[in-house]
Amino acid sequence: MIVAPSILAANFSRLLEEVKDVEKHGAQFLHIDVMDGHFVPNITIGPMVYQNLKPEVKMTFDVHLMIDDPYFYAKAFVKAGADYITFHYEAVKDPLEMISYLHSLNVKAGISVKPGTDVQVLEKLLPDLDLVLVMSVEPGFGGQTFQKQALEKIAYLRDKKAENNYRYLIEVDGGINFETARLCKEVGAEVLVAGTYIFKAKDRKAVISDLLEL
Ligand code: DX5
Ligand code: ZN
């Protein structure tokens, strides 16, 4: 299992220390939630926040863009050190063009769907994607409750991947704890994003290693 702590729930006054701590306990991806106050009603992280973290750690930088204009900002996020850039299906007119654009910037391309968006809209895009992110909460805030309809979407992506030998990773984001992670794993999730569950844990080491061993 790949574990992707979301820095949204970290203490930003000591961000590097927080990030090094989750890396030390085995987390492979660092999930970076970018919100613009338009696509979602919250404002969070820009490229400047993580560009200085990049040379300090070895984790894969998994940048989740919850913004209206991913096309305009993608280059800056790549330059700051993104390894994966995930944009929202709901935010762009031509998702295939966006995927090609990301590949032209030499970054892995991911797409995400909100809880209310049918996962089957992604069918034609699947051969070109490096990651598909299923939102199990409404994007915008950490600390929400997992919505179970995400499980059917994950299972759909698992089946399509197996049938066609696609390469994308199946990631789930929102309300992940040990119990919901187990449900996601059962239906094929490969990357677990967890903010509150990891960063607010009393024993981060135990929490991360439980997820890693799922
Ligand atoms: C929500 C973000 C999530 C968030 C998850 O819009 O995409 O990555 O940080 O937070 P938890 O794990 O607390 O639900
Ligand atoms: Zn996220």
CB-hemisphere CA count at 13 Å for 32?
Answer: 27
Residue 174: beta bridge partners?
none
pLDDT of residue 129: 99
| Options 33, 36, 62, 130, the catalytic residue | 33
First to last CA, the chain: 7
Angle at 63 between CA 62 and CA 66, to 5 degrees: 140
Q: Which amino acid is at 191?
A: V
**Is 173 an annotated catalytic residue?**
yes
| Test site for ligand 1: of 29, 131, 196, 208, most ligand atoms within 8 A of the Cβ | 196
Give the pLDDT of residue 69.
97
Q: Which of 21, 36, 62, 173 is catalytic?
A: 173
Q: What is the pLDDT of residues 59-109, one digit of tens each?
A: 999 999 999 999 999 999 999 999 999 999 999 999 999 999 999 999 999
Q: Which pair of structure tokens corresponds to residue 179?
A: 């119990």
Task: Return the SS3 of 11.
Answer: coil
Taking phi over 0 as left and psi of -120 to 50 as alpha, with beta for the rest, 189 belongs to beta
Q: For residue 196, what pLDDT is reported?
A: 98
Q: What's the 197 CA to ligand 2 centre distance in angstroms?
A: 13
Positions in the chain whose pLDDT score sits under 70: none
Residue from 141, 176, 178, 197 whose mutation best tests the ligand 1 pocket (most atoms within 8 A of CB)? 141
Q: Is 33 a catalytic residue?
A: yes
What is the reported pLDDT for 154? 99
Is the minimum distance from the CB of 196 to ligand 1 under 6 angstroms? Answer: yes
**What pLDDT shows up at residue 34?**
98
Kindly state the tokens that stand for 22: 């989750």
Task: Output the CA–CA distances (angstroms, integers) from residue 94 to 1, 141, 198, in the order listed.
Answer: 32, 26, 35
Residues with CB under 5 A from ligand 2 (ion): 33, 64, 173
